[in-house]
Amino acid sequence: MTEFKYLIQDPLGIHARPAGMLAKLAKSFEGTTVYLTKDGNTVKASQLMKLMAMGVKAGDEVTIGCEGGDEAAAAAAMEQFLKENL
Amino acid sequence: MALDYRKCAEEIVANIGGAGNVVSAAHCATRLRLVIADNAKVNKAVLENIDGVKGMFESNGQLQLIIGTGTVNKVYDEFLAVTGLTAATKADVKAAAAAKDPLWRRILKVPGDVFVPILPAIVASGLMMGLVEAIPKFWPAFGNSDWYSFLDMIANTAFAFLPVLVAISTARVFGGNIFLGAVIGLLMIHGGLLNAWNAGSAENIAKFFNIEIDGVSPYLVDWKSFTGTVDIPTWKLFFFKVQRVGYQGHVIPVILAVALMSTIEKWLHKKVPEMIDLFVTPLCTVLVTGFVTMTIIGPIFSILENWVLAGAKWLAGSLPGAVVMGAIYPWTVVMGLHHMYNVIEAGMIAQTGLNTWMPIASAANFAQFGACLAVALKVHNQKTKSVALPSSLSASLGITEPAIFGINFRFMKPFLCGMAGGAVGSLFGALFKLGAPVYGVTGIPALPAVNNVGLYIVELLISAGVAAVLTWIVWKEEAPAAPVADDTAKTAIAAQEAKIEVPENVVISCSAGEIKAPVVGKVIPYTEIPDPTFAAGVLGEGVGVWPETEVVVAPYDGEISSVAESKHAVGITGPEDMELLIHIGVDTVAMNGDGFEVLVAEGDQVKAGQPLVKFSKEKIKAAGHPDVVVTLLTNSDDYENVTIHQ
C-alpha cells in the first residue's frame, strides 16, 4: 500500500463533479485499488456515492492509499489530480 | 465448542442499536447480512471486535458481518432468537408484538402461523374437493365416472398429503431445516404405514364402540371391507408396541413432531462439534424425532382420539350434549379428529337407521362458513378477502379447513362466533330430530339425503346467520401493522398534501431496469447538460430535466446512499445496485444549501414517488445557475443497453 496525505484546498470540497472525476480516475488504474480515508472512515475512491457521502470539505485532511499493481504510478496520478482540482 | 453463538448474536444486536433497529436479517455462506434502520446507531468499531465477527463492511445498503462458513447459520439462528425477527426476513412488527403475548396465546397462534403459508394449497383443494364431492350427491351417475375419480384425486392431493405441507411449514415456524421437516411429514404418511383415511385405527374403534356395521351407506362403499378385514400390524420396539398407522389428515401431531424435531436439531447444532455437525445432527434429529413420534406422540394421540370419539358419541345422544358438541366441533377439526366421526355416524345408522350426528356437524361447519363469509364481506384487506371468499364457499360444501385455518382460527373471534352459531344450529337440529340415513357429508351436499329438507335449510341458515352476525359485530379488522405498507401510505399522504406531481415518464433504461424522471419537466440527454463534466459523461450516463415543479422525488424504490452537505444533490441506490445521482442545478454547490430543503437522510429507505428534496427555482436563478436537474446513472458502465429516453 502506497499512501499519502493531502489537505483539501478547494472551498467547496469534494462535491459531485470533482468526486465524479476523482472516481473516474481512481477506476482507471488496472489492478490497483485506490482508497480514500477521512477521520478514520475509508471508502474505495472509485465508488462515487461513497465518496460523495464522505462530505470532504476544505481544510479536511484525507489519506489516499493505493494498493496492488503499480501503486507508485497510481499514487502520483492521484496526487497530481488532487493538487490541480482540489 | 469454540464460539458461543448466543453471546456473539447478543453482542451484535447490542451494537447495532438493538433489535428495533433491524429492518431485516439474512445470511449467505459466510456473512450475516443486515438491513439497519438507523445506521447512526451502529457501533462499527465494537462490532468488528466481537468474538466471532471476522470482519465487516457495508454494501448494497446492507451491513454485512463476516462470520464464516458453518458458523454464520448458527449465529443467524441465535440472532433471530435474540431479536425476535422471523426467518421470513421482514421487519415483522406483529411477530415482535406477539413475543410479549402470554404462552397460551402464542400456542394458539402456532396453527395459524403454520397454515398461512400453505393456504393457497388447501384453499384450492378444499374448494375443488367440496365441488367434486358434492356433484354425485345431486347426480349420482357422475360419481361412477372416470372424471369423478380423476378430479377427486387432484382435489384431495393436498389433503391426503397435508402432513407434509404442515411439516414443512412448521419447520419454518420453529426454525428447523424444512427438508428434515418434510422427511418427518413424509414419514408420518409413509406408504409402509396403514393409511389413516382408510379408518386409521378404525377397526379398533369399531370394536371400542361395539358397532356392527350392517347398514350400508350408498356414499362410502368400502366401509365393510376395511372394518371387517383390516388387522392393524404393529412393531415391537423396546417396550413400545407401535401401530403401523399413518397420520393422513392430521395436523396437531405433525406440528408437535416437527416442533420437537426443530428443537432437537437446534440443540444438536449447538452441541455437536462443527466438523461432524453436517451428518451427525440431521441423522440424530430424524432418528430421534421419528422414534418419539411413532412411540409417544402417535399413541398419545390415538388414545386422545378414542376419548374424543367416545365423548362425542356420548354428547350427541342428548339435547344439551348436541349443543355442546355443536360448539366444540370445530376444535376437533383443528385437531384433525373429525375424519373419524364416520365411525359414530355409521354406528348411529346401524343402531337406529338415522344419522343424527350429521345435523350437528353441519351446524358447526355452516357456522364456520357464516363467520368466514362475514369476514370476507367486512374485511378491507384484499389479500384476506381473496382467501376468505373461496374458503367460505368451500366450508359451505363441508370442507372447513381453509376457512378455519386460513381465517377464523387465525383471527380467533370469528372462530368463537362460529362455535356459538354451531351450538344454536345444533340445538335446532336436535329439537326437530333432524337426521339422515347416510354419512360422510355435511352442509349443502347433505341436502338430498336429509329427512326434512325445509327444516334442515332453516338449521343451516340459523347456524350461519348467528355466526355471521356475531362476527360482523364482534370482529374488527386489525390495522395493518406492516411497516412497508405504512410507509407507502405515509408517502401517498405526504405526496397528496404537497400536491406533488410524480412524473411517470421513463428517462433511463438499462439491463437493471427503468428509471423514471425525478421531476416533471423537459428531458434532455446528458450530453446537452450545460456543464462540460456532466456532458462528458464523467459521472455516468443519464439525462437532465429542466424542472417545471420544485420537488425532486425518488425515481425508484431504494436507499439514500448520500446527501450532499450543501443539500443540492442526493444519491439513491436502487434495484440491481443502480446508483443514481440527482444533482439539482449546475454549480449549485456554491449556494451552500440556500434554496434547498432535503426531506430524507442518508440510509433512509424510500419508495418511488417519495419526495426527496424541495428546491427554489427562483433562488437558483437568482444565484445565476442553470436549474437543470442532472440525473445520472453513475455506475452506467456496469449495465448493458443503457438507453436514454426524452
Q: Answer yes or no: are the C-beta atoms of B15 and B50 closer than 8 Å.
A: yes
> CB contacts < 8 Å between A and B, how many?
61
Q: Which comes out higher in pLDDT, residue B193 or B198?
A: B193
A6 in contact with B, Cβ within 8 Å: no
Which pLDDT band, with edges at 50, 70 and 90, does B206 fall under? very low
Q: Which comes out higher in pLDDT, residue B541 or B422?
A: B422
Q: What's the CATH code of the domain at B19?
A: 3.30.1360.60
| Edge-first strand listing for the sheet containing B521-525 | B521-525, B541-547, B629-633, B579-584, B569-573, B558-563, B605-606
Task: Classify residue B603: in a domain, yes or no.
Answer: yes
Per DSSP, the residues of B500-545 read: ------EEEEETTEEEE-SSSEEEEEGGGSSSHHHHTTTT-EEEEE
pLDDT digit string, tens, across residues B53-69 = 877 777 656 777 878 76
Query: Which residues from chain B sit within 8 angstroms of residue A15, using beta carbons?
Result: 564, 566, 569, 589
Whole-angstrom Cα distance, residue B36 to residue B595? 31
Q: Do A21 and B538 touch (CB under 8 A)?
A: yes
Q: Which residues contact B595 (CB under 8 A, 6 or more apart)?
A: B588, B615, B616, B618, B619, B620, B623
Q: What percent of chain B has pLDDT over 70?
A: 86
Task: Classify residue B440: in a domain, yes or no.
Answer: no
Q: How far is CA B425 from CA B62, B281, B458, B459, B554, in A?
A: 56, 52, 9, 5, 57
pLDDT digit string, tens, across residues B2-52 = 578 888 888 888 888 887 788 777 777 677 878 777 777 888 878 878 888
Burial track B428-449 (b if 16+ CB lie within 10 A, e otherwise)? bbbebebbbbbbbbbbbbbbeb
Number of domains in chain B: 2
Q: Among B77, B92, B107, which residue terminates a domain?
A: B92
Length in residues, chain B: 646
Q: Among B92, B115, B142, which residue terminates a domain?
A: B92
Task: Work out the minimum CA distance from A53 to partner chain B, whole angstroms.
Answer: 5
Is the confidence at residue B1, as pLDDT, over 50? no
Give the residue on A whose Cα is nearest the Cα of B587.
A17
φ, ψ for residue B618, nearest 5 deg = -60, -45
A1 in contact with B, Cβ within 8 Å: no
Q: Which residues contact B397 (CB under 8 A, 6 or more apart)?
A: B127, B130, B131, B133, B134, B443, B444, B445
Query: DSSP assignment, residue B480?
Result: P
Task: Classify residue B586: in a domain, yes or no.
Answer: yes
Which pLDDT band, with edges at 50, 70 and 90, does B200 fall under? very low
Q: What's the CATH code of the domain at B584?
A: 2.70.70.10
Query: Which residues from chain B sit within 8 angstroms of residue A55, using beta carbons?
Result: 564-565
Q: Which comes out higher in pLDDT, residue B327 or A22?
A: B327
pLDDT of residue B61: 63
Helix (H) or strand (E) holding B347: helix B341-352
Active site residue B510: no
pLDDT of residue B462: 94
Q: Do A53 and B562 touch (CB under 8 A)?
A: yes
A49 in contact with B, Cβ within 8 Å: yes
Q: How far is CA B545 from CA B219, B403, B522, in A?
A: 73, 53, 5
- Which position among A3, A9, A15, A73 bears the catalytic label? A15
Return the number of other C-beta atoms located less than 10 Å from residue B149's C-beta.
11
Mean pLDDT of chain B: 80
| 3-state secondary structure (DSSP) of residue B565 | coil
Query: Which residues from chain B sit within 8 angstroms of residue A48, using beta carbons?
Result: 539-540, 571, 579, 581, 634-635
Mean pLDDT of the region B373-393: 88
Whole-angstrom Cα distance, residue B255 to residue B110? 9
Mean pLDDT of the region B331-356: 77
Task: Work out the minimum CA distance from B534 to partner chain A, whole angstroms.
Answer: 8
pLDDT digit string, tens, across residues B458-502 = 999 999 999 999 999 998 877 654 444 444 444 444 444 445 677
B634 in contact with A, Cβ within 8 Å: yes
Which pLDDT band, with edges at 50, 70 and 90, does B92 fall under? very low
Q: Do A48 and B566 touch (CB under 8 A)?
A: no
B627 in contact with A, Cβ within 8 Å: no
Which pLDDT band, with edges at 50, 70 and 90, does B394 fall under? confident
B596 in contact with A, Cβ within 8 Å: no
Whole-angstrom Cα distance, residue B200 to residue B212? 17
Q: Do B533 and A20 touch (CB under 8 A)?
A: yes
Nearest to B418, CA basis, from B455, B391, B436, B440: B391
pLDDT of residue B87: 55
pLDDT of residue B415: 94
Active site residue B8: no
Is the confidence at residue B196, as pLDDT, over 70? no
Task: Classify residue B399: in a domain, yes or no.
Answer: no
Task: Classify residue B225: in a domain, yes or no.
Answer: no
Q: Do A49 and B581 touch (CB under 8 A)?
A: yes
**Residues of chain A whose pLDDT is less than 50?**
none
Mean pLDDT of the region B127-137: 79
Query: Which residues from chain A sit within 8 angstroms of residue B538, using beta carbons?
Result: 17, 20-21, 24
Q: Could you identify the residue written with the cell 363467520? A: B371
Which pLDDT band, with edges at 50, 70 and 90, does B86 fall under? low
Whole-angstrom Cα distance, residue A25 to residue B534? 15
Q: Do B533 and A50 touch (CB under 8 A)?
A: no
A15 in contact with B, Cβ within 8 Å: yes
pLDDT digit string, tens, across residues B584-627 = 988 887 788 888 888 888 778 888 888 888 898 888 888 888 88
Q: Do A48 and B564 touch (CB under 8 A)?
A: no
Query: Which residues from chain A sit within 8 angstroms of residue B57, using beta carbons?
Result: none
- Name B155's bridge partners: none
Mean pLDDT of the region B349-354: 77
Mean pLDDT of the region B250-279: 88
Nearest to B631, CA basis, from B478, B506, B448, B455: B506
pLDDT of residue B530: 84
Burial track A30-48 (b if 16+ CB lie within 10 A, e otherwise)? eebbbbbbbeeeebebbbb
Q: Answer yes or no: are the C-beta atoms of B547 and B519 closer than 8 Å.
A: yes
Which pLDDT band, with edges at 50, 70 and 90, does B197 fall under? low
Q: Among B48, B73, B92, which residue terminates a domain?
A: B92
Per DSSP, the residues of B279-309 read: HHHHHHHHHHHHHHIIIIIHHHHHHHHHHHH
- Locate the domains of chain A by residue range: 2-85
Query: Which residues from chain B sit within 8 angstroms of residue A53, using beta carbons?
Result: 561-563, 571, 602
pLDDT of residue B305: 74
Check: pTM over 0.80? Answer yes or no.
Answer: no
Q: Do A15 and B579 touch (CB under 8 A)?
A: no
B565 in contact with A, Cβ within 8 Å: yes
Class of domain A2-85: alpha beta
Whole-angstrom Cα distance, residue B194 to residue B443? 29
Region of poorest pLDDT, from B146-150, B193-197, B489-493? B489-493
Q: Do A48 and B569 touch (CB under 8 A)?
A: no
Whole-angstrom Cα distance, residue B228 to residue B243? 18
Q: At what angle do helices B103-138 and B146-160 cross, to 10 degrees?
A: 180
Is the confidence at residue B140, as pLDDT, over 90? no
Which pLDDT band, with edges at 50, 70 and 90, does B119 fall under? confident
Mean pLDDT of the region B276-297: 90
Q: Do B579 and A49 touch (CB under 8 A)?
A: yes
Q: Do B571 and A52 touch (CB under 8 A)?
A: yes
pLDDT digit string, tens, across residues B210-260 = 444 333 333 333 333 334 334 567 788 887 777 777 887 777 889 999 999
Give the residue on B whose Cα is nearest the Cα of A48.
B634
Whole-angstrom Cα distance, residue A26 to residue A66? 9
B60 in contact with A, Cβ within 8 Å: no
Task: Classify residue B60: in a domain, yes or no.
Answer: yes
Domain span at residue B564 reads 502-644
| The three cell numbers locating residue B355 | 344419522
Task: Classify residue B277: in a domain, yes or no.
Answer: no
Query: Which residues from chain A sit within 8 angstroms of residue B626, using beta carbons?
Result: none
Task: Classify residue B615: in a domain, yes or no.
Answer: yes
Length in residues, chain A: 86
Nearest to A28, CA basis, from A16, A43, A46, A40: A46
| The three cell numbers locating residue B84 | 425476535
A15, A23, A49: residue with CB nearest B566: A15
pLDDT of residue B282: 92
Whole-angstrom Cα distance, residue B286 to residue B247? 17
